[in-house]
Structure 1
Amino acid sequence: MNNISWQDIRKIIVDFLQQRLANNSSYKSETAKLEKAKELGDQVAVNEAQQKLAELAKRFDFETWMEDAATRRISWISMGTNNSKSIHSSSLGDNINYSTQSQPIEQLYVSSATPTTLPLDCSGNAAALDVFSLLNQFVIEDVTFLQLIVNDHPAVLAALSDDKEKALLYLTNFKKAIFNDFDNPKASELNKQLYWPNSEETYLSQQDNNYRLLIPLHPSSLCHLVYQKVQSRFSDENKKAREQRRIKDIKHQSYFSFHHLAVVKLGGSNPQGVSQLTSNQGGRNFLLPSMPPIFEKSQFPSISKQQETIFNNALQYFCRFGFRLLFDMVEAPKNIVEERDDRKDAFAVILSLLLKFARHIQTTQPAGWSRDYSLDFHEKLWLDPQRAQLENEEDFKKQYEQGDWQQSLEKSFANWVQNALKEKFKNIKQQFADPEFSEWRREFSAAVKASQRKREGIF
């Protein structure tokens, strides 16, 4: 970009004007008349056609066209990335150029701030849209005249006119249009308007100026990028990649595919009345499917910051198959051998799922997560062992290494099982007393020792 000279920019402008002249319908008509008059030898008609061609050529003379474009017609159009007429085609509100503002550091959702650069859109009088076309001419590959103006390229000023005062005026007017330097910013009653409270304190207050008036504009530049992305599905490269996916023994390439698209048309039969980019899209804007995300529910129960123990109904439901065996054992006719075996089977299932849950918490949560939770301290020591390695956790580390918390876990586990049995069998709940409580503790203690022997890292 540093190698661009004012002559390079001037050449782009002159070539653009010559192309505009060559494509002008009146110029084509008069050229045809001139050729016909020459064939017929009609000198009067030849002179008349040549005079009209000279007048047309003068309109596209560099200095003449630039003065008209940069002082008069530039005010007929409004440039920006967010368009007012897309909301209502009769709106006379100003467009806004977001790309000239600083972008946020963190982006939590897709917006006009997401792309690195946005194409500028334009709306207004069709008789001035050629000015916008000039600004979008490429001076070199991937660098437009407009980008040079935005970046204050030193070669721009001299390229606009041989008269330095005129060149400065032209550049000022171009920048004014590009950077939305409004003397009198305009909104329109045809646009949507939202009153937004300035703060929670003023929401219900009787003060004046409690609200800001927000006027949403259509993000036409962002929608144009989406449109181009969706249209890339019809590119030769994408078609080839899709066709090759059925061919074996070749390297497959990725390709774009968009499902459940909808289309909204803006501008009716005259999308140019909305904006230039809308016109380029034939008025079509793609709507992506707006459906809630599908979350995969975790198989493990969650832990809220308010709960004081993991041994609750949610954990019982997670271990429901083991509890079902335990309940069946209680209801079955008494047989010492079968009862003992059924009980062990039930606790094998319950403890297996409980230790699986504990391991899940230990390995998926960051060290120190339990600081903000209300769990019993012995459960924090069990489920957040890496917290002992953090700074300022000497007391936590000391208590963890002492190991007394394991006995507290045994009691919590035994209470949990005991309460589940009493709730299930209310008519015989007095039968679940200290001997049964001690048995549940022994089952848990045995599971702890078995896990430690296997070096599973749970205790």
Structure 2
Amino acid sequence: MGQGDPNRVSGFRSVMEEFLKEQLEPKLKQILNKLEKEEDPEKRVELSEKRDSLVEEYGLRSWVEKAAALVVHIDAATHILKATDSHAKGTNLYCPPASLTPLEEVGSCHLDESFAVDFTNNSARFVLYKFLSLEYEGVPLFKWFKIHDKDLCEAIGGADSISDHCSTFGSISELGNKLASHERMKQIYWLTGEDPVEDVDFTILAPMYSSSLAHEVYGRISEHKYSDNTKAARAAKRKNEYCEYGIHEYPHLGIQKLGGTKPQNVSQLNSERGGRNYLLASLPPVWMSRSVRPPYGRRPLFEQFGLRRDTQAVLKHFQGFLESDPPANMTTRIRRDEYLDQLLGEFSLYCGDLHALDPCWSADPKCLLVECEVMLLDPGRYARDADFAARFREKYASRDWTKDISNRFANWLNGALGGKLPLEDAEQVFWSDVFREDVMTPLLKNVGEKLKEEAHV
């Protein structure tokens, strides 16, 4: 290997050695603490050997050699399967934006060369993800490995065997002969011929989730919402002063959680976002899905919700399924979760309809809802009602009221599905937990962001 640029070689080596030092320190500290307290000479020798072995293991060349043997178990990708279903086992794709056909519509093709590379398939290799994501000159090491940068290989060791390891790191995005779909992927049969009766006239399409694009969107929106420049702009707006920075608004912004409590099982970038993915609103300027009236009267909120035609339809099928005494297996749990998702979706739509009403509708004497329900359904009231705003902020911070409304939903659902079904406390707790996670969390996210914005205006 030819002589590289000494400054770049040193820069690469410094980045990697600093990373390995951070990985080594907590493990080395444990041994050193034991060694300091140990008085037995034989055990001290044993601990000293462990210390020396650990230091050698985290030497740059030694660590890279072992890492190269493990890196074959992960995929570098821009488009991933597990965002669709965490159990999908097909092929992830690495498609740099420059390799894609340019389109007028916003998509992965519009990302620049600084696009984020995702890693997936084995969350146990987290340290490898972090290593390949280390940046030098603003570019992740993976991309330097991909082009077989000679200075990077020189920094690792420069020998032929090390050069082979560099090639191994750079080749994890190459598909070879393993291109495959999976039964859990979304698939669409698209008519490409003329006869819809003939199977050969169809092509099967498998839409892939662009993780790199999602990460770019998430980072840009987060910057627009929470950066120091945005805070300065909001402070200037509050004081009615000029500011060189603008304020970006994203009305009706949604958040999709991928991976549940284990976002790392989807991918590395998804884990860095805590599983959160922003969804921009796709709505006409004025939209009311149905005739909506405020929930006035003495009937409790969820009883009024249960009278809606779509809600009753879901409840009927849900109850019929449970009364059929299905076996306690995975298929039954999936069907149960599907019905519950439909029901929670209907309630989210119901909340959206009520949020579209003029704020302060809950101040009408005909509204007999309890305050936790008002906080959920009429959050715009705090901007016009000072007394309500004070109570709103205090209770919003405590979050105790979310348990109250979640329990109210669970009690109602147990009653609505009752009759022949022996539903008890276990079901009530389950309904409540799912409601709080799937309905309250995303709704409160939007309300909380609005509160933060108003606090700076």
Question: Which range, TM-score by smaller chain?
Answer: 0.5 to 0.7
Letter of the 1:36 partner, please give it: K
Are positions 1:14 and 2:6 aligned together?
no
SS in 1 for 2:154: helix
Residues 142 and 170 of structure 2 are in contact (CA less than 8 Å); yes or no, is this contact kept in structure 1? no
Query: Equivalent residue for 2:213?
Result: 222
The partner residue of 2:172 within 164, 173, 177 is 177
Over 3 Å counting, the alpha-carbon distance change for 1:168 and 1:293 in structure 2 is farther
SS in 2 for 1:195: strand
Over 3 Å counting, the alpha-carbon distance change for 1:3 and 1:258 in structure 2 is farther
SS in 1 for 2:110: coil
Are positions 1:62 and 2:86 aligned together?
no
User: After the TM superposition, which residues 333-352 of structure 1 pair with which residues of structure 2 at under 5 Å, given as runs?
Assistant: none
Over 3 Å counting, the alpha-carbon distance change for 1:4 and 1:97 in structure 2 is farther
Letter of the 2:165 partner, please give it: Y
Letter of the 2:177 partner, please give it: D
Query: Equivalent residue for 2:257?
Result: 265
Letter of the 2:23 partner, please give it: R
Report the TM-score, using the length of structure 1 for normalisation. 0.56
SS in 2 for 1:113: helix
Q: How many residues align?
A: 281
RMSD, matched Cα: 2.5
C-alpha deviations, 1:340-397, integer Å up to 9, x for none? Answer: xxxxxxxxxxxxxxxxxxxxxxxxxxxxxxxxxxxxxxxxxxxxxxxxxxxxxxxxxx
- Kindly state the Cα deviation for residue 241 of structure 1 after the two structures are TM-superposed: 0.5
For 1:16 and 1:32, the matched residues in 2 are separated by 22
For 1:18 and 1:251, the matched residues in 2 are separated by 43
Query: Equivalent residue for 1:139?
Result: 136
Over 3 Å counting, the alpha-carbon distance change for 1:18 and 1:244 in structure 2 is same
Query: Equivalent residue for 1:377?
Result: none
Residues 244 and 252 of structure 1 are in contact (CA less than 8 Å); yes or no, is this contact kept in structure 2? no
- Kindly state the Cα deviation for residue 151 of structure 1 after the two structures are TM-superposed: 4.2
The more displaced of 60-69 and 155-164 is 155-164
Letter of the 2:108 partner, please give it: S
- Kindly state the Cα deviation for residue 53 of structure 1 after the two structures are TM-superposed: 1.9
Residues 85 and 93 of structure 1 are in contact (CA less than 8 Å); yes or no, is this contact kept in structure 2? no
The partner residue of 2:70 within 65, 73, 77 is 73
For 2:209 and 2:33, the matched residues in 1 are separated by 44
Are positions 1:239 and 2:231 aligned together?
yes
C-alpha deviations, 1:107-139, integer Å up to 9, x for none? Answer: 321111122132001112233232221122122
For 2:99 and 2:246, the matched residues in 1 are separated by 34
Residues 97 and 111 of structure 2 are in contact (CA less than 8 Å); yes or no, is this contact kept in structure 1? no
SS in 1 for 2:190: strand
SS in 2 for 1:122: strand
Query: Equivalent residue for 1:28?
Result: 29
- Kindly state the Cα deviation for residue 256 of structure 1 after the two structures are TM-superposed: 2.1
Letter of the 1:21 partner, please give it: L
For 1:186 and 1:126, the matched residues in 2 are separated by 21
Report the TM-score, using the length of structure 2 for normalisation. 0.56
- Kindly state the Cα deviation for residue 60 of structure 1 after the two structures are TM-superposed: 1.7
Residues 91 and 178 of structure 2 are in contact (CA less than 8 Å); yes or no, is this contact kept in structure 1? no
Are positions 1:124 and 2:125 aligned together?
no
Over 3 Å counting, the alpha-carbon distance change for 1:52 and 1:61 in structure 2 is same
- Unaligned runs of 5+ residues in structure 2 are 287-457
Are positions 1:114 and 2:110 aligned together?
yes
Over 3 Å counting, the alpha-carbon distance change for 1:7 and 1:257 in structure 2 is same
Letter of the 1:241 partner, please give it: A
C-alpha deviations, 1:193-240, integer Å up to 9, x for none? Answer: 22223x344x4374x743332222221121111111221211122111
- Unaligned runs of 5+ residues in structure 1 are 295-459
Residues 65 and 162 of structure 2 are in contact (CA less than 8 Å); yes or no, is this contact kept in structure 1? no
Letter of the 2:264 partner, please give it: Q
The more displaced of 83-92 and 253-262 is 253-262
Are positions 1:187 and 2:190 aligned together?
no
User: After the TM superposition, which residues 74-93 of structure 1 pair with which residues of structure 2 at under 5 Å, given as runs?
Assistant: 74-93=71-90
Over 3 Å counting, the alpha-carbon distance change for 1:2 and 1:115 in structure 2 is farther
Query: Equivalent residue for 1:410?
Result: none
- Kindly state the Cα deviation for residue 270 of structure 1 after the two structures are TM-superposed: 0.9
Instruction: Give the fraction of aligned pairs with identical amino acids, expressed as a percent.
Output: 27
Max Rg structure: 1
Query: Equivalent residue for 2:145?
Result: 149
For 1:92 and 1:59, the matched residues in 2 are separated by 33
Are positions 1:167 and 2:131 aligned together?
no
Letter of the 2:207 partner, please give it: P
Query: Equivalent residue for 2:279?
Result: 287
Letter of the 2:84 partner, please give it: I
Over 3 Å counting, the alpha-carbon distance change for 1:243 and 1:67 in structure 2 is same
Query: Equivalent residue for 2:432?
Result: none
Are positions 1:44 and 2:39 aligned together?
no
Residues 79 and 123 of structure 1 are in contact (CA less than 8 Å); yes or no, is this contact kept in structure 2? yes
Higher normalized contact order (CA 8 Å, seq sep 6+, divided by chain length): 2
For 1:154 and 1:289, the matched residues in 2 are separated by 46
Over 3 Å counting, the alpha-carbon distance change for 1:213 and 1:167 in structure 2 is farther
For 1:230 and 1:29, the matched residues in 2 are separated by 41
C-alpha deviations, 1:427-448, integer Å up to 9, x for none? Answer: xxxxxxxxxxxxxxxxxxxxxx
For 1:21 and 1:89, the matched residues in 2 are separated by 31
For 2:60 and 2:188, the matched residues in 1 are separated by 46
C-alpha deviations, 1:415-436, integer Å up to 9, x for none? Answer: xxxxxxxxxxxxxxxxxxxxxx
